[in-house]
Structures are given as structure tokens and as C-alpha cells.
Chain A
Amino acid sequence: MNAVAEDTRKVVPFPSAAWFAELGDLMKANRARQEHLGYIDCSVAFTVTDGSADGLARHFRVVFEEFEAVDVAEVDAAAAAAADFGLAASGATWRAMIDSIAAGDGRPALTQTLNYLSHMGTPLTLVAADPLKSDLYYRYNQSLQEFVNASCAFHTVYSSAR
């Protein structure tokens, strides 16, 4: 018998709509947990500021409704700006967070939570048109944290450009 168990988890590339869609599927699969956390009603634009092969931004919009991510899509900058709020960071910042979540088996290091990264405005930037919209980020913060924490259930691979 092998001393190290083989990693049979699904492999999902980041950044990609598939990566966020996978998190959406996990939300659905863990419905009871979502019901315990409560409604989440907002649209979020996750931006990787240097996510494309030529170093340009890529935006992924996730629409949350009730207990599910009802829509996940890669969108252009205008559609991203129309989301309730955005969370923008470099690929390296996202990668460090995702790797930390994986290393902690679903719990990031103290310095890798969404709020830790966004609180000072950098390296993760909260973008919102007005304070009522940015308050949505705070109102659903635990749900959003658990949304990204679920990425430990699969294996993230990063595009070679990043």
C-alpha cells in the first residue's frame, strides 16, 4: 500500500468561471450549512486584476440568491461594475489565499481571510458604488468566507501565465 494516498480530487483551473461554478455547486451540495448561515442576496464581481494571458483583468460575476449561487459567468468590466460589489486582487493574492485555504483544509491562515486581505484596501480591494452596497459585503461576510473556503474540496491549478 502506498504511504501517500493518491489525490483523487477534481482538478479545476484558476482563474476560470468553472472554478467559481464549482464553489456554487458545493454551496448547493451543502445546503444545510447555507440554511444555517442564512440568506445571501447579492451579486459579486471577483476580479483577477492580471488574470489574462496578457496580464489584463478578468472578472467573474457570481449572483447569490437565498442559499445558492444562481448564476456564475465570466463578464466584461462593465458587467462587473454593475455587480453589487467587487473584490479585486492580483492573481498572486488570490493564489496565496486559495493555497492557504487548501493547506488549512478549508480554513485559511489568520492573514488570508477575505476581510483580512480587504480591510486596509489592499491587497484585496472592495469596490462598491455606495456604502449600502459595500455593506452587503459585510452583511454576508461569513457566507462569502465559507464560499471560498469550500475550494479545499478540489484541487486548484493555476494557469501558467500567472
Chain B
Amino acid sequence: MSVRVQDLSPLPVAANLDDEGLAQYEATYTSRFQVWAEVLQRNVENIHRGSYSLHWLNTDQANWGKRAKPSSRGMTYTDINRIRGYGDAPDKAEWFNFAPRGAVREPYRHEMPVIEEYTVVDKGELWADNVITLYEEAKARQWNATRDIPWEELEALPEDLEKATCQLCTFLTEIEFAAGDFPAKWMYRIPQDFLEVKSFLATQIMDEARHQEVFRKRAIAGGGLLHAAPGFEWALTAILNAPTHTMGTFLLNLLGEGLVLSIFRSGEMIAKTHVDKEIFRRCLQDEARHVSYGVLEFKNYLDTHPNRAAAEEQMHRFCDIGEQVVLSAFVEPALIEPIAVLLGGGLKHIDQGMEGVAHMWRMFIAEYQQRCKAAGFDRSTRCTIPAEFPWGKAA
């Protein structure tokens, strides 16, 4: 039986606002937004008078007349950004409303609202030179976890391998949820002038939604979700709580997703079914885009910072904590043990699998250091995560 989209039931509605809350909203709106009332009144009067304005036909202050031409891929941001007046994101945003970059907006500034939540105002705090490319690529390489995975081919595995797969998927579902919340939290802080970054973050949110979806589906199709873990939760909370966009992006995109990219690649390698391989391959593609943004965003932050040495030192201090909190996810038995079981080929071979985990650990730390280096940040002597997997060191 096929399911029609319009028959899917809606989500439950949020709790209703009580009378007092509504009265407060009314009072705030009428006291704080008098300008809005004036604009409304003026325009209503014009309508009553039947009087045209036609001011919008005036192009004196507009970037009018040069038409953008599509490239072979269609009309990209790069194509429209070539037209004078549209492509230059300012070093510091000064527009805190929705007025489009490149539109005639100055004459109306005094009558426009200010969105106080738009707090990421420095280009250095979010721009990356690859962000437009990544945005176009992200749109072009979207996939559908419902349709693009050959679910009908999924076969039951021996119990230990099935449980290990489902546990790994439980971990991944848990972390992908927060990986979407982080860009969602900051996306709302980004003003119009940085619309390309905002657009890219929208794709990242979609990617993460699909990742938590696909792993949730895989677990439930294989027997069920297994154990959540406090170590994951603390790592994820640290990402959400990062004090600045750059710090959080470092922790999520460069360090965290760098780690998850390694896990996806390992997942593809240790997958016991073609279905799982396809899932991991699809996900690792998305993850690598997020990592690439993280590296160049951080590079841009350091390169444009007025006091680079101070910025680096601040990041080192942040990393001292950040690495340790992210480590709290990577040492969770609910993560490394199922990986070891899958690497070893069964619970009986978990010891053998741990050797593979040690290899992965080494590789992950080396890649993390290389990514820092590519951003112009030398963490080699200060990294707080040991280069070697400390398994059984105390034994």
C-alpha cells in the first residue's frame, strides 16, 4: 500500500499562550513598534487616496541594469555575485533586518526594525572561501534516505554484529541530532549580508536531519535503537554551548565532524551489508563538506583577525577544554566497543577489533592535526588527546 504525503499526521501543536502572555505581547508590540504603526498608517492613507508612489521605479541608488547570466550549471551565487553591487559581503554587517544585500535599503533604514538576535556581525566569524562552492555542491548532492538506500536488500546479521551495527547507529543518531542543532542555533544569528553562509548552513541542517533519519531507520530496521550515552551528551552539549560561532564551528565541523567522517569511513569499511555500505558512503560525502567548511572558516578567522597571536592563544585555551569534551564521546564503550566488534568480525574477536580501533585513533588524531595545520593553526605540541589509543595502558 502506498502512503500519500497529505495523509501523514501533523505534529502536535505547541502549548497555547495564556491570557497574561498574550497581553504582554500586545503591550510590547504597541509600545515598541510605533514606527511600524506610522508606516502602516501612511500606506493605508495612500491607498484610501488612490495615490501611487512608484518610487520603486527609481534606480538612482540601485545596482540596476546589468543582467546576470547563468553558467553551465545554471544560475549560481557565483554568477550573480559577479554583478557589481551584489557580490561583496562586508567585513562587518551593518544591516540587522531582512533587507537584501544589494537592494536599495539606505533611504528606509530609519523606519526599519532591528533584529537584535543578529549577532554574528564580523565576516571573520563565519566566512569561508569555499562556502559558495559547498552550497552549490550540497544542493546538487542531496539524497533521500527513504528512497536512495536499497532498504529492501537489508538482511539480518548474526546477533552480535547486528547489535554492534544498531549500537553504532544509535550513537550516530544521537550525535547527528546535535549536529543539526548547532548550525540551526547560529543560522538565526546571521544577518542578510552573509546570506551565502546562511544558505550553506541550511544545507548542513538538512544533511544532519537526513543523517539522524538514516541511522535511526537503519537501527530500527535491524532490531532497534540501543544505548544512548552520557559521554556523547557532554561532547554534544559542549558544541552547542561554544561561546562563539568560530569556536563552535571548530569543535563541530573541524574536530567533531572530522572524527565522525573517520567513523563513517570506518563504518563503510566494516559494514556487513551493501545497504550499510551505501548509507555510510552517502553520509561521508555530506560530512566531508561540513569538515571542509570548518577548516576554511577557521582559516579565514585567523587570517583576518586583527591580533592573530591573541586569537590563536584564545583558541588553544578553548581547544584544551574542547578536545577533552569531544574525547568524552570517543572513549564511550557504547561507541568503541561496537566498532571493535564490527572491525574484529564478531564479539569473539573484540580484542582483534581493538587493534583496529587503535589504528583508527592514530589516523584520526593525525588528520585532526593536519586539518588544524591547513587552517594555519599548529596544535601539534598542544593537543590534549593522546596520539596513541591508551587501551589497556594501566593493565
Contact = CB atoms under 8 A, between A and B. Distances in A.
Interface string A5-23: 0000000000000000000
A141 B143 CA distance: 14
Interface in B260-288: 261, 265-266, 268-269, 271-274, 277-278, 280-282, 284-285, 287-288
Contact of B371 (A131, A136, A138, A141): A131
Contacts of A120: 269, 359
B296 A132 contact: yes
Nearest to A109: B274
Contacts of B291: 131, 135
A55 interface: no
B380 to A, nearest CB: 14
**Interface size range of chain B in the complex:** 35 or more
A90 interface: no
Contacts of A31: none
B284 A141 contact: yes
Contacts of A110: 271-274, 277
Contact of A141 (B73, B281, B296): B281
Interface string B333-362: 000000000000000000000000001000
Given A131-B295, A141-B285, A116 B374 contact: no
Contacts of A142: 278, 281-282, 285
A37 interface: yes
A138 B268 contact: no
A85 to B, nearest CB: 12
A135 B128 CA distance: 16
Q: Which of A37, A66, A120, A138 has the most CB of B within 10 A?
A: A138
A95 interface: no
Chain B at the A interface: SS class: helix
Interface residues of A, number: 24
A107 interface: yes
A145 interface: yes
Nearest to A117: B269
Contacts of B159: none
A66 to B, nearest CB: 6
Chain A at the B interface: SS class: helix
A41 to B, nearest CB: 8
Interface string A68-81: 00000000000000
A139 B137 contact: yes
A115 interface: yes
Interface in B355-394: 359, 363, 367, 370-371, 374
A115 B278 CA distance: 11
A130 interface: yes
B268 A38 contact: no
Interface string A114-151: 01100111000000001110011011111001000000
B292 A119 contact: no
Interface string B202-221: 00000000000000000000
A109 to B, nearest CB: 9
Q: Which of B72, B137, B285, B291 has the most CB of A within 10 A?
A: B285
Q: Can you list the 7 inter-chain pairs with the closest CB atoms, starting with the nearest?
A: A38-B141, A138-B288, A38-B140, A139-B288, A119-B269, A135-B288, A39-B140
Interface of A: 37-39, 41, 66, 107, 110, 113, 115-116, 119-121, 130-132, 135-136, 138-142, 145
Interface of B: 72-73, 130, 133, 136-137, 140-142, 261, 265-266, 268-269, 271-274, 277-278, 280-282, 284-285, 287-289, 291-292, 295-296, 359, 363, 367, 370-371, 374
16 contacts: A38-B140, A41-B137, A110-B271, A110-B274, A115-B268, A115-B280, A116-B268, A120-B359, A131-B295, A132-B130, A132-B296, A138-B265, A139-B137, A139-B292, A140-B285, A141-B281
Given A66-B73, A115-B265, A132-B296, 8 more contacts: A38-B137, A110-B271, A110-B272, A115-B280, A131-B367, A131-B374, A132-B130, A138-B288
